[in-house]
Amino acid sequence: MERESMEFDVVIVGGGPSGLSAAIRLRQLALASERELTVCVIEKGSELGAHILSGAVIETGALDELIPDWKAKGAPLNTPAGDDRFLFLTKDKAVRLMTPPQMNNHGNYIVSLGNVVRWLGAQAEELGVEIFPGFAAAEVLYDESGAVRGVATGDMGIGKDGEPTGNYTPGVELLARQTIFAEGCRGSLTKTLFERFDLCKDCDVQTYGIGIKELWEVDPAQHKLGQIVHTVGWPLDTKTYGGSFLYHLENNQVAVGFVVGLDYANPHLSPFEEFQRFKTHPAIRPIFEGGRRISYGARALSEGGIQSVPKLTFPGGMLVGDTAGFLNVPKIKGTHTAMKTGMMAAEAVFEVLTVEEGGPFEVDSYSAKVKDSWVWSELYQSRNVRPSFHKGLWAGIAYSAIDTYILRGRAPWTFHHHPDHTALGKAADYPKIDYPKPDGKVSFDRLSSVFISNTNHEENQPIHLKLKDEGVPLTVNLALYDAPEQRYCPAGVYEIVTDDAGQSPRLQINAQNCLHCKTCDIKDPTQNINWVVPEGSGGPNYPNM
Ligand SMILES: Cc1cc2nc3c(=O)[nH]c(=O)nc-3n(C[C@H](O)[C@H](O)[C@H](O)COP(=O)(O)OP(=O)(O)OC[C@H]3O[C@@H](n4cnc5c(N)ncnc54)[C@H](O)[C@@H]3O)c2cc1C
Ligand code: SF4
């Protein structure tokens, strides 16, 4: 069967804050100047918001610019940020530290980013954007000159064996004069564009964190509407970057999450178990005791900052939001920068497409707009904070204080990053970590957690976690690193199983549990795992993460 094709002026891959902001801005400009401009957004989640996982406390600067009357239009920003607390935890104590200025949230809102994205989607549709949820962009299409010509969605109905089943439907080609990639952190197509157009040749490698989050409904006596708490310290050692967030939002809900920098060294570490253990701290446990866990999920974050931002444009396309690494790490915020880069991309594309005929084009004025914007100056100022933690927690806190209060981000030097996968040490060189068993009250196991992420994949499809070399999981990962994928995957996708006699180990991949966090694609020590999109609409179905 032949693939059908559809033609648009602009195709946007990913219906997150950056992709939808680009779509809205394009249609606003088209309507204001009474020009024809067709815009389509494709989203791999079963609906908009289904794959969105964030904290989230958001800054409204970009939203104010995009939709100034967002309040009147019913945007789900209902909880103004209140009291900000920054705690250092030891095993049994919590010491309040001065809140770093980047973490001052006065004027911000605590939201479910999934719900904000659903609302942005409704605004986009009202303006005439065509949104196709449940379709994963599986392949970048190129024209004869090598320029990006659009994307193709994956075929549906391919069996585990790679052969078409009775439900086979070929993918669709979505062709465009400009394709905007808004896939979020570690985009699977963006990765291929990095290679094809050598986009990272002048920047640092990207460095990442994994964020694991739960949404709870807590005892009203424990709920403090608008309160924002961040912690560092226990249960992580001082060499491992990370910490927690607790945001008290509406309906007695608390969003609690734990972020671990993926440059950690001890292969025995499990970010999932660190998170579960964190909730048992004497200062934290009472918040959740007697409460109900509503949802669970995980997602990687780009932590490299401005040093790791690649070249943003190439013939036929461009990168916006987290897929290009526009997250401000000291703030743990990327929504405002994702939205603003989406808007700037739209403005640059609009200027070109309405003057020139045909396409595809390389719209390099977008890069110039970004460099002239508050996004660039904000990320420039904070660029040395994350890498200063390479020397440990206390050195990082001390340097960050000097950088923020005295140098004000204007230091004449820029620290660099190293790849996360090479930071992993050998199992024999690091102590095993004895994690406590989950108590089923405030701490849980992986499988019951994945259950409440509503994750679902068609079972009869090829595994979307591709091993470049089938032998490496045993000869390298198990032999040298004690199979770290069993611990860094927050969904229990990777399991070393043996026969009844405990012999003949092999790696079993439970791909149907995958939360699309992308950690395995980042942290596998020899980069042997390649995450590609499964059939469209597969993955988590987060209600309001
Ligand atoms: C744990 C955690 C806490 C955070 N806390 C905050 C916070 O408090 N405040 C804040 O401002 N930011 C926070 N962030 C960062 C914020 O969530 C991101 O910066 C923001 O979501 C980036 O928007 P985006 O549109 O670039 O990407 P995303 O929000 O990741 O959206 C990308 C979308 O593209 C879709 N997609 C990806 N690939 C494809 C494909 N090939 N085909 C079709 N669809 C595809 C995905 O399903 C997804 O819906 C946090 C992030 C995490 C992980
Ligand atoms: S398989 Fe990879 S992408 Fe999926 S949940 Fe596990 S670590 Fe994340």
Mutate to test the pocket of ligand 1, among 332, 336, 370, 541 (most ligand atoms within 8 A of CB): 332
Task: Report pLDDT for 356.
Answer: 87
Which residues fall within 8 angstroms of residue 421, CB to CB, at 6 or more apart?
522, 523, 524, 525, 526, 527
Nearest CA to ligand 1 atom 1: 211
Ligand nearest to the CA of 272: 2
Measured distance CA(394)–CA(119) in Å, rounded: 41
Mutate to test the pocket of ligand 2, among 450, 519, 527, 533 (most ligand atoms within 8 A of CB): 519
Which protein residues are within 6 Å of ligand 2, measured from CB?
Answer: 465, 489-491, 493, 514-520, 531
Measured distance CA(15)–CA(121) in Å, rounded: 8
Measured distance CA(316)–CA(78) in Å, rounded: 39
Mutate to test the pocket of ligand 1, among 46, 79, 117, 183 (most ligand atoms within 8 A of CB): 183
Ligand 1 proximity of 532 Cβ (cutoff 6 Å): no
Task: Report pLDDT for 531.
Answer: 98
Q: 3-class SS at 318?
A: strand
| Residues catalogued as catalytic | 54, 299, 335, 489, 514, 517, 520
Nearest CA to ligand 2 atom 6: 489
Per-residue pLDDT of the chain (545 residues; tens, 9 = 90+): 789 999 999 999 999 999 999 999 999 999 999 999 999 999 999 999 999 999 999 999 999 999 999 999 999 999 999 999 999 999 999 999 988 888 889 999 999 999 999 999 999 999 999 999 999 999 999 999 999 999 999 999 999 999 999 999 999 999 999 999 999 999 999 999 999 999 999 999 999 999 999 999 999 999 999 999 999 999 999 999 999 999 999 999 999 999 999 999 999 999 999 999 999 999 999 999 999 999 999 999 999 999 999 999 999 999 999 999 999 999 999 999 999 999 999 999 999 999 888 889 999 999 999 999 999 999 999 999 999 999 999 999 999 889 888 888 889 999 999 999 999 999 999 999 999 999 999 999 999 999 999 999 999 999 999 999 999 999 999 999 999 999 999 999 999 999 999 999 999 999 999 999 999 999 999 999 999 999 999 999 999 99
DSSP structure string for 45-102: SSSTTTT-----EE--HHHHHH-TTTTTTT-S--EE---EEEEEE-SS-EEEEPPPGG
Which residues fall within 8 angstroms of residue 126, CB to CB, at 6 or more apart?
none
Ligand nearest to the CA of 300: 1
Task: Report pLDDT for 406.
Answer: 87
Q: Ligand 2 centroid vs 7 CA: distance in angstroms?
A: 33
Q: Ligand 1 centroid vs 470 CA: distance in angstroms?
A: 31
233: number of Cβ within 10 Å: 22
Closest atom, ligand 1, to C-alpha of 49: 49
Q: Ligand 2 centroid vs 473 CA: distance in angstroms?
A: 15
Q: 3-class SS at 434?
A: coil
Nearest CA to ligand 2 atom 8: 517
Task: Report pLDDT for 472.
Answer: 98
Q: Ligand 1 centroid vs 482 CA: distance in angstroms?
A: 31
Nearest CA to ligand 2 atom 2: 520
Task: Report pLDDT for 287.
Answer: 98
Structure tokens at 433: 């970590």
Strands of 421-498, DSSP E:
465-467, 494-497
Nearest CA to ligand 2 atom 4: 514
Please state the φ and ψ torsions of residue 367, each to the nearest 5 degrees: -60, -40
Ligand 1 proximity of 49 Cβ (cutoff 6 Å): no
Pairing of strands 156-158, 228-233: unpaired
Ligand nearest to the CA of 53: 1
Structure tokens at 140: 């970048």
Q: Ligand 2 centroid vs 513 CA: distance in angstroms?
A: 8
What is the residue type of 146? G
Nearest CA to ligand 2 atom 7: 489
Ligand 1 proximity of 464 Cβ (cutoff 6 Å): no
Ligand 1 proximity of 52 Cβ (cutoff 6 Å): yes
454: number of Cβ within 10 Å: 16
Ligand nearest to the CA of 255: 1
Ligand nearest to the CA of 271: 2
Closest atom, ligand 2, to C-alpha of 521: 2
Q: Ligand 2 centroid vs 255 CA: distance in angstroms?
A: 21
Q: Ligand 2 centroid vs 492 CA: distance in angstroms?
A: 8
Mutate to test the pocket of ligand 2, among 489, 508, 509 (most ligand atoms within 8 A of CB): 489
Mutate to test the pocket of ligand 1, among 188, 335, 535 (most ligand atoms within 8 A of CB): 335
Closest atom, ligand 1, to C-alpha of 334: 19
pTM for the structure as a whole: 0.97
Measured distance CA(44)–CA(33) in Å, rounded: 32
Ligand 1 proximity of 330 Cβ (cutoff 6 Å): no
Q: Ligand 1 centroid vs 132 CA: distance in angstroms?
A: 18
Task: Report pLDDT for 89.
Answer: 98
DSSP structure string for 222-287: G--TT-EEEEEETTS-TTS-EEEEEEEETTTEEEEEEEEETT---TT--HHHHHHHHTTSTTTHHH
